Amino acid sequence: MTARIELRGVTKRFALRGRRPLRTRDARGRGPRPDHTVTALDTVDLTVADGEFLVVVGPSGCGKSTLLDLVGGLTTPTEGEILLNGAPVTGPGTDRGIVFQQYALLPWRTALGNIEFGLETTGLPRRERAARARDHLDLVGLTGFGDRHPHELSGGMKQRVAIARSLAAGPDVLLMDEPFAALDAQTREGLQEELLRIHRRTGRTIVFITHGIDEAVLLGDRVVVLTHRPGRIKEIVPVELDREGTDAASLRSDPEFTRLTHRIRELLHDEVALARAREREELAA
Amino acid sequence: MSTTIGRSVRPTSPTSPSAVGTGPPPEPGTSGVPDRAGPLPAGALRAVGRLLTAVATRTVALLALLLVWEMAPRLDLVDRVFLPPFSEVALAWWELLIGGQLWSHTSASLVRSGAGFGLAVLLAVPLGLLIGRYRPLADLLNPLLEVFRNTAALALLPVFVLLLGIGETSKISIVLFACTWPILLNTISAVRTVDPTLLRLARSMDLSPPALFRKVVLPASIPTIFTGIRLAGAVAILVLVAAEMVGARAGLGYLINSSQLNFAIPRMYAGIITISAIGLLVNHLLLTVERRLTAGRPDERG
Ligand SMILES: Nc1ncnc2c1ncn2[C@@H]1O[C@H](COP(=O)(O)OP(=O)(O)OP(=O)(O)O)[C@@H](O)[C@H]1O
Ligand SMILES: [Mg+2]
């Protein structure tokens, strides 16, 4: 397998403008000292293989969204470099599609219109755009809902439209930031299976952020566990489950599934406790 | 009537679109828009019933007001000279209509307020879009905007008269001036409050700035911009009437003022009623345009 995305020593710091500086301790525990930047990610090295489904978990505020923004070209790393297909990322592009937690659908366009929106920067002729939008509407199982406006769709349907929009432009990589977090359990499970099916069918590389441990194991080929701020890679857990021909319910009852969720829960547990302690410290400072 | 005036007092908080709306939104049950009648006669009957109830609910307060207006002078509860019964006012209105004066005054007012309002839309919408989009420009102009939005336009009327005389120019100018602020401030806040996830989406798609503007910022801003425009519609009439009371030989403000001076009290009320009716009509018209542009918008392709 070839590398689709490569992060080499990526660090991202944000300047804290007009705010009280955080008092942080340095690596050797000296301090606290006033610090006018916040380090979201700290020397992250990561390689995502072509066609891989990579899931990222970590405590809140550990830099997961920042990681996604960096790969998406929405921000630039403070240190290190990010390669996409071997070339450095210089900005956003249609070779990467982002799916946001809040759907980000244009309320004045229909489902089909929203999917077409994703194609309007590709330079495709209009007729082809329409045909492709229709194909992707079918792909996410929304045949017949093309004329509905977002306010006439359920949350799950909206997220399907958003996924279809991202896929339609034909990206090499799909970047998903807690896409199912706002959905109810049943809808989420339906969409998880749908996404696995789409992944199998299209062979796209997917980077998927979630807070759901169950979701991480169910979907991911590997699960990256990040530490609390500043985000570093704590561990990468490979998921070796045979998903072919099994449904989510039987996967969940697999002993290996239980073992993996347990492992990730343990890894996260320490980090979340540390993050809480840190937050209290900052508030008190 | 009361709604028109109530609305025009509010343009001080254009940053919160909901606060500058037209009062309570129409409740589904009492909406004046008839529900689409079903194919079944029973459904149609029910729809007609609902429509009648809606019309009755909406007119009953109005009818009560007219009834009080009619009876209070007749029962000597108020001085008949200062508040003649509604029927006398209606008669005076009819005479003005037949005589053609009503139309000449109304058209004079409509031309002035329409010109000022139209120019304000043409000026303030693009300016607001620009200011909302470019931070440095906003920082530069913000103190100025703060001063003007907090200066009552009518307080500046004497200045306009001094600089531009008492002719059409000064009247159109003061309407233009007064209408500019609600539109400008609402447009700025519309552009500023575009859903940030939509902007992130556009950025992730590498949309060019003109495309971003045309496909995301502008359509997302239209509802709030329209709130400002509707507000300006009310302001246009309010300010114009006041301006016409100062120095004019035509217009509804002049009609009201001169009738009062000549003690033609029924005529004065006839003028007031006409203004109320125009206010209601303008608001209704702008609401209709707004609904066309926003609710269930047709899909814009290309
Ligand atoms: N534009 C920014 N300016 C300053 N600080 C930022 C900015 N974006 C993110 N941060 C900070 O960087 C850290 C990581 O943020 P990020 O949004 O990546 O976390 P996250 O892991 O996605 O959190 P969550 O799970 O809550 O979504 C946070 O402490 C956040 O406050
Ligand atoms: Mg996040």
Res B14: pLDDT? 39
Give the pLDDT mean for B244-251.
84
DSSP string of A36-100, one letter each residue: SEEEEEEEEEEEEETT-EEEEE-STTSSHHHHHHHHHTSS--SEEEEEETTEE--S--TTEEEE-
A247 to chain B, closest Cα gap in Å: 33
Greater pLDDT, A31 or B259: B259
Nearest residue to B182 via CA among B245, B116, B136? B116
A66 lines ligand 1 (CB under 6 A): yes
The answer on pLDDT for B9 being more than 80 is no
| Maximum Cα–Cα distance across chain B | 74
Interchain pair B299, A91: CB under 8 A: no
Interchain pair B219, A106: CB under 8 A: yes
Nearest CA in chain A to B297: A108
The answer on pLDDT for A24 being more than 60 is no
Nearest residue to A114 via CA among A137, A94, A131, A140? A137
Greater pLDDT, B267 or A29: B267
The answer on pLDDT for A53 being more than 90 is yes
Q: How far apart are CA A56 and CA A71, in angstroms?
A: 13
Q: How far apart are CA A122 and CA A27, in angstroms?
A: 46
Res B27: pLDDT? 42
Nearest residue to A225 via CA among A48, A5, A54? A54
**Bridge-partner residues for A61, per DSSP?**
none
The answer on pLDDT for A160 being more than 70 is yes
- Contact status, residue A248 vs residue A218, Cβ threshold 8 Å: yes
The answer on pLDDT for A99 being more than 60 is yes
Res A20: pLDDT? 55
Greater pLDDT, A203 or B19: A203
Is the complex ipTM more than 0.90? no
Res B10: pLDDT? 36
A115 to chain B, closest Cα gap in Å: 11
Q: Which domains does chain A have, with CATH numbers?
A: 3-13+36-95+171-284 (3.40.50.300)
Please give the model's pTM, rounded to 2 decimal places.
0.76
Res B26: pLDDT? 41
Query: Dihedral of CA A110/A116/A120/A123: which sign?
Result: negative
Nearest CA in chain B to A148: B296
Q: Is A149 left (phi over 0), alpha (psi -120 to 50) or beta?
A: beta
Res A280: pLDDT? 81
Work out the percent of chain B whose per-residue pLDDT is above 90: 38
From A108, A120, A121, residue closest to B297, measured CB to CB:
A108
A52 touches chain B (CB under 8 A): no
Mutate to test the interface with A, among B197, B299, B300 (most CBs of A within 10 A): B299
Tens digits of residue pLDDT in B32-90: 444 444 456 777 888 888 888 888 888 888 899 999 999 988 988 888 888 999 999 99
Mean pLDDT of chain B: 81
The answer on pLDDT for A217 being more than 90 is yes
Q: Which domains does chain B have, with CATH numbers?
A: 48-83 (no CATH), 86-293 (1.10.3720.10)
Mean pLDDT of chain A: 86
Q: How far apart are CA B280 and CA A73, in angstroms?
A: 51
- In three-state secondary structure terms, A123 is coil
Instruction: Give the angle B239-B240-B243 at the CA atoms, nearest 5°.
Output: 90
Tell me the residue type at B133: R
Nearest residue to A273 via CA among A263, A283, A281? A281
From B204, B211, B302, residue closest to A92, measured CB to CB:
B204
Highest mean pLDDT among A206-210, B146-150, B262-266, B294-298: A206-210
With 0-12 / 13-18 / 19 or more C-beta atoms within 10 angstroms meaning exposed / middle / buried, residue A193 is middle
The answer on pLDDT for B296 being more than 90 is no
The answer on pLDDT for B257 being more than 80 is yes
Interchain pair B219, A108: CB under 8 A: yes
CB pairs under 8 A between A and B: 63
| 89-118 of A, contacting B, C-beta below 8 A | 91-94, 96-98, 100, 102-104, 106-110, 112-113, 116-118
Chain B: residues touching A (Cβ < 8 Å)? 195, 197-198, 200-201, 203-207, 211, 215-216, 219-220, 294, 296-297, 299-302
